[in-house]
């Protein structure tokens, strides 16, 4: 059974504790709802991906790029830099965070299916390492911006290898009906290769493939790698030289529920190394430098959200059974994933233990919407009452990063815990902030 909590979470003295700080104290000092991030756990995971890449690929190891879209703020970007790994950004806003953190530009990789001229220009201006190009018009934009700055910009081409990977299944087809990338099967990828090579301001360094999110089995990664490497073989055959880089993307699943078995770096990277080695042998290629892009796999398990219960309500169902509705002081504004993807979470009573019987419960938010549900079905102690604290684990990825002000609810802060010390790294919004855009 996998652990859904970060390494610094313990349960003792009748409370959940993070880095030795008990839940009631975290709530008292920082209010609720709040995201608490375990800095030790975050750094350990970031380092583990870097080390596993190096161990598995040796001198063929490229970069681990942390996928900032999962969650990034200035402080977290600094941690990433200190862990020696790279940063994947996909908008001008994420690039602005990297710049504010003085993130080493050469270790920034820029993604996105619709990079504006301004975003591309800024990226080239500050000297980002790689731009992952996603459409033909972007090739011209990159070439033009590089020319203006007197630079040659390294790029990868994002390709769609024809793998639809979902959490519990993988489908390999020839085509993918998605906005990202150039299709290998349709010939679009080869067209892009030729277009990229036509610009002296562009250095085509290799290919990129990303097969999906929250993937819990490894086989699809090998199929994807093989198709990308096959095209690298075609490139070598055509032009007599080998492309030096291959980025296999991210999507490594984590444990949201105790029964989820996560993809861990010590398992994923040896598997990928073997798959890449096999495919390179098949196509007679040297192993290129391999990069990967974990985001959720680093930040997801490192955070939990602490909520306070506001109201409870017993609802008699049609069957005659009962359901306890537990309303917490956040909801779909700080975690849209259950409503958006049907994502499942667990929760625990964090401020005390209870010997009350477990009853069928539903944890809901405070938004004016029936679908504002954080946990649809869970057994929780019958005596949970207003003022109790609930902790929801594994909310680090796509929680705060997708947060809204729906119903004018201020977004929660992110508080980092390190060696028993807590500090705010992203502050709570205030009513003044909510009114700050009104003219």
Q: Please identify every residue annotated as catalytic.
A: 368
Shortest distance in whole angstroms from residue 398 CB to a second copy: 8
Return the residue matching tokens 């990967």.
Answer: 292
Of the pair 97, 269, the CB lying nearest a second copy is at 97
Rounded to a whole number of angstroms, the minimum distance from the CB of residue 320 to a second copy is 9
Q: What does the alpha-carbon distance between residue 157 and residue 60 come to, in Å, rounded to a whole number?
A: 19
Helix 219-239 with 188-197: angle, nearest 10 deg = 50
Q: Considering the complex, what minimum distance in angstroms separates the CB of residue 326 from a second copy? A: 9
Closest approach, Cβ 281 to a second copy, in A, equals: 30
| Closer of 185 and 359 to a second copy (Cβ) | 185
Q: Which residues contact 191 (CB under 8 A, 6 or more apart)?
A: 136, 182
Query: Min. distance of Cβ 114 from a second copy in angstroms?
Result: 4
Query: For the stretch 7-18, what's the b/e string if a residue is b when 16 or more beta carbons lie within 10 angstroms of its beta carbon?
Result: ebbeeeeebbbb
**Measured between alpha carbons, how far is 77 from 98 in angstroms, rounded to an integer?**
6
Nearer to a second copy by Cβ, of 59 and 318: the residue is: 318
Half-sphere exposure of 428 (CA within 13 A, CB side): 16
DSSP assignment of 116-182 equals: -HHHHHHHHHHT-SEEEE-SHHHHHHHHHHHHHTT--EEEEEEEE-SEEE-SS-EEE-S---SSSSE
| Of 5 and 190, CB closest to a second copy | 190
Peptide bond between residue 180 and the one before it cis (omega within 30 degrees of 0): no
Count Cβ neighbours within 10 Å for each residue of 370-387 and write b for 16 or more, e otherwise: eebbbbeebebbbebeee
Q: Which of 11, 85, 30, 103 is nearest to 417 (CA)?
A: 30
- Among residues 286 and 377, whose Cβ is nearest to a second copy? 377
Q: What angle do CA 6, 403, 109 make, to 5 degrees?
A: 75
Instruction: Indicate the residue among 63 and 362 with the shorter CB distance to a second copy.
Output: 362
Give the span between the Cα atoms of 192 and 401, in whole angstroms.
32
Cβ proximity of 266 and 48 under 8 Å: yes
Q: Of 45 and 141, which has the nearer Cβ to a second copy?
A: 141
- Ramachandran angles phi, psi of 282, nearest 5°: -55, -45
Q: How far apart are CA 157 and CA 135, in angstroms?
A: 9
Our CB check for a second copy shows the closer of 191 and 282 to be: 191
Q: What are phi and psi of 346, to 5 degrees?
A: -115, 175
Other CB atoms within a 10 A radius of the CB of residue 296 amount to: 23
Residue 116 · residue 142 · CB < 8 Å: no
- Least distance between a second copy and beta carbon 287 (Å): 28
């Amino acid at each position: 059974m996998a652990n859904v909590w970060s390494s610094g979470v313990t349960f003792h003295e009748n409370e959940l504790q993070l880095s030795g700080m008990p839940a009631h104290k975290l709530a008292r000092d920082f209010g609720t709802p709040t995201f608490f991030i375990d800095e030790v756990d975050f750094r350990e995971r970031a380092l583990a991906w870097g080390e596993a890449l190096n161990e598995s690929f040796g001198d063929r190891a490229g970069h681990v790029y942390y996928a900032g879209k999962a969650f990034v703020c200035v402080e977290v970007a600094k941690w990433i830099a200190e862990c020696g790994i790279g940063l994947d950004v996909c908008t001008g806003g994420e690039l602005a965070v990297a710049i504010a953190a003085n993130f080493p530009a050469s270790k920034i990789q820029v993604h996105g299916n619709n990079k504006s001229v301004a975003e591309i220009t800024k990226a080239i201006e500050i000297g980002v390492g790689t731009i992952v190009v996603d459409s033909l018009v972007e090739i011209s934009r990159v070439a033009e911006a590089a020319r203006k700055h007197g630079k040659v910009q390294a790029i990868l081409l994002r390709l769609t290898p024809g793998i639809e990977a979902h959490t519990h299944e993988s489908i390999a087809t020839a085509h993918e009906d998605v906005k990202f990338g150039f299709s290998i099967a349709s010939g679009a990828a080869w067209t892009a290769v030729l277009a990229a090579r036509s610009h002296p301001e562009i250095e085509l360094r290799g290919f990129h493939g990303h097969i999906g999110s929250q993937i819990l089995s490894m086989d699809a990664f090998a199929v994807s790698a093989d198709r990308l490497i096959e095209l690298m073989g075609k490139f070598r055959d055509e032009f007599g030289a080998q492309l030096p880089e291959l980025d296999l993307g991210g999507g490594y699943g984590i444990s949201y529920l105790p029964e989820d078995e996560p993809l861990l770096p010590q398992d994923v990277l040896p598997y990928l190394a073997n798959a890449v080695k096999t495919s390179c042998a098949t196509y007679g290629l040297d192993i290129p430098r391999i990069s990967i892009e974990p985001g959720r796999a680093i930040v997801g398990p490192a955070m939990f959200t602490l909520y306070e219960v506001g109201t409870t309500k017993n609802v008699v169902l049609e069957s005659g059974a009962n359901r306890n509705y537990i309303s917490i002081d956040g909801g779909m504004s700080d975690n849209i994933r259950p409503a958006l993807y049907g994502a499942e979470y667990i929760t625990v009573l964090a401020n005390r233990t209870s010997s009350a019987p477990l009853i069928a419960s539903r944890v809901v938010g405070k938004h004016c919407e029936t679908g504002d549900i954080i946990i649809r079905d869970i057994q929780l102690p019958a005596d949970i009452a207003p003022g109790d604290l609930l902790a929801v684990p594994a909310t680090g990825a796509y929680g705060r990063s997708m947060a809204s002000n729906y119903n004018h609810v201020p977004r929660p802060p992110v508080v980092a815990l390190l060696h028993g010390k807590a500090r705010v790294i992203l502050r709570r919004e205030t009513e003044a902030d909510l009114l700050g855009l009104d003219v």
